[in-house]
Amino acid sequence: MGFLKHFQERLGFLPAKAVKSLSGSPRIWIHGASLGEIRVAAAIIKSLQAKLPGCAIVVSTVTAHGRNLALEIFEKEIPVVYAPLDLPGCALQALSSVRPDVMVFLETELWPVWIFTARRLGIKLALLNGRISPRSLNGYLKFRPFFRSVLKNFDAFSMISKTDADRIHTMGAPSGKIRVNGNAKYDHTIISPDPAVEQEMRRILNLAPSDRVIVAGSTRGGEEAMLLDAYEATRAKYPDIFLILAPRHIKRAPDICALIRNRGLKYQLRTEIGRGNVERTAQILVIDTFGELFNIYSVATVVFCGASLVPLGGQNPLEPAVWGKPILYGPHMEDFLDAKEMLASAGGSMRVSNPQELATAFLDLLDHPEKANTLGHRARETAFQTQAAAHRHADVIRILFSKRTFQRGIPID
């Protein structure tokens, strides 16, 4: 129903109000698929507005959740639209309406028809905060000649890491157009935590400062069973331990609750807490709300990053790191290799391979709070060293409009 509700936009017929509100120069269209990319867009846009005063920006997204977050972040300052379908007529209609000077795609967004159409219209193209996962690289390489023809249309590739730069070069991107500028997603998370947030979360969750809390963030299918195994092993020594399970997709909450019931354990849902006089009393809480995970990390004694015990690329470990929490993750952190490697080298995290190792790590950190504090302190220091990536990505766009613009792209040396 949501898709059909805005189907005119997806066909390329953008709201007249959004188009008319675009005033200033240069015109920059930034596209991100969903929630994560919109947070990246917010960080980059803040830098762009400082570097290119008077620029006009429009943001597009694919999902309803991404759109809602964009509307919340940008309010009425920046128009937010749905992306056109990747079809010739749709892309041409949308681009002709906005008439951007530069089309920015974020992270892994490569829309061939949209890209070909933009180039044909003389629009500059840039991929910012670019990342290529091992899984997607294998797919791209099966059609390497085609993607080489797509990538040659870009003026600049501003990638997260050297690994990402090497991968997009392998796909066919010219090396002279590639730069490595870090992950702007972290600019959103690298903020000074507000102590009042932790106080409020403890009030909502009925937690005393001395309560021990395990927070498992952005978990995926198959991980909750392993986490419950580790939790029960930990609970044998620490019967008051509190577990918070925050699935990446909240629609899975009923399945997770069934897993917990089958073990004879008590749980509550986040949506049940705080309604009327309902207090949190169960030792397991399942998060079935959007947008709270960052704040929930504030009450953790130890954090597990989800999507890492199963081969799904991991979760951003720097979000809990800014709270000074010791961080555990599994062997599959491919989507956040740079963050994982920074934390590991600084001694701010621990890797586990299975539920048994996870339980052992939980017990180790609970038995040795001084070790947990040291890991958390190192994690926090590491997190704050990653700032300013958004400024570097935005500078790529600034250079495209400066006298130093190169006809064949932006050299990296």
Whether the pLDDT of residue 413 is over 70: the answer is: no
Q: CA dist 208 to 73, 200, 213, 272, 377, Å?
A: 33, 12, 10, 20, 22
Question: DSSP states of 301-344 as a string?
Answer: SEEEESSTTTTS----THHHHTTT--EEE-S--GGGHHHHHHHH
Q: Which of 371, 363, 355, 369 is nearest to 236 (CA)?
A: 363
Answer whether 2-189+388-400 and 195-384 agree in fold: yes
Whether the pLDDT of residue 406 is over 80: the answer is: no
Under 8 Å between Cβ of 92 and 14: no
Beta strands 213-219 and 178-180: pairing type?
A: unpaired
| Residue pLDDT, tens place only, 215-272 | 999 999 999 999 999 999 999 999 999 999 999 999 999 999 999 999 999 999 999 9
Under 8 Å between Cβ of 139 and 162: no
* Tokens coding 170: 């392998």
Beta strands 178-180 and 80-82: pairing type?
A: unpaired
CATH topology assigned to domain 2-189+388-400 = Rossmann fold (3.40.50)
For 296, how many CA atoms within 13 A lie in the half-sphere containing its CB? 25
At residue 157, what are phi and psi to the nearest 5 degrees?
-125, 110
The pLDDT assigned to 163 comes to: 85
Under 8 Å between Cβ of 177 and 155: yes
What distance in Å separates the CA atoms of residue 310 and residue 316, rounded to the nearest whole number?
Answer: 15
The pLDDT assigned to 405 comes to: 44
The pLDDT assigned to 35 comes to: 85
Which of 14-28, 178-192, 208-222, 302-316 has the lowest average pLDDT? 178-192
Which of 16-25, 42-51, 99-108, 125-134 has the lowest average pLDDT? 16-25
Secondary structure tally for the chain: helices H, strands E: 20, 14
User: What residue ranges do the domains of the chain occupy?
Assistant: 2-189+388-400, 195-384
| Residue pLDDT, tens place only, 81-117 | 999 999 999 999 999 999 999 999 999 899 999 999 9
pLDDT tier for residue 412 given thresholds of 50, 70 and 90: very low
Q: Which of 153, 165, 166 is nearest to 118 (CA)?
A: 153
Characterize 11-38 residue by residue with b for buried, 16 or more Cβ atoms within 10 angstroms of its Cβ, and e for exposed.
Answer: bbebbeebeeebeeebbbbbbbbbbbbb
CATH topology assigned to domain 195-384 = Rossmann fold (3.40.50)
